[in-house]
Amino acid sequence: MVSAGGADESRAVIAGQLAGCCRDLHALLAGASTAGLRASSSGTRWTNEQLLFHMVFGFLVVRRLLPLVRLVGRLPAPVGRAFARLLNAGVGPFHVVNFLGSCAGALVFNAGRMGWLCDRTVAGLMAGLASEPEQALTRGMPFPVGWDPYFTSFMTLLDVYRYPVLHYRHHRAQLTLGQPDFP
């Protein structure tokens, strides 16, 4: 269990990291040329612009995951494990939807609009994190580990709040925009 000071400290660290991702995204968008956005990223099939949207999409996904974790975390453990197994069984279609969704998402939330989307989404995450009861942060659920390299077999609500920063940093390293690495 997280101590009272530990939870507040973790909240502050995570909130700072979330805000740092937004600042970094804005710097990347401001410095990116049209050609740079259309260029291929490294190690993915996305362009840099599509990958940037995918990075923002990680924050959006967490906003949708939080209520699920709160709900499943209150159910009997076998229910959560069965749910994670069911989700893991759909890993193939998930990856197709994940790829195509980021391609389509970048058409709507392109470089001119994704900064605003990131700001709005991260502000919501930070407000939610600040208002979570401490005992809720330690509650969690089994996760489909085949969906993402940063999903672990069991994730607490605090782990889920940490996830989009890990996701962002992972994909940040795959951009080919010629920007310095994210700290």
* Domain-located, residue 180: no
Which ranges in the chain belong to alpha helices (H)?
4-31, 34-38, 48-72, 77-89, 91-108, 114-131, 134-138, 157-172
pLDDT mean across residues, the chain: 92
Distance CA(70)–CA(121), nearest Å, equals 19
Q: Please give the torsion angle defined by the CA atoms of residues 67, 73, 75 and 81, in that order, rounded to the nearest 10 degrees.
A: 110
Residue 149 lies in a domain: yes
Q: Give me the CATH number covering residue 68.
A: 1.20.120
The whole domain housing 63 covers 4-172
* pTM confidence score: 0.91
pLDDT tens digit sequence for 11-65: 999 999 999 999 999 999 999 999 999 999 999 999 999 999 999 999 999 999 9
Q: How many domains does the chain have?
A: 1
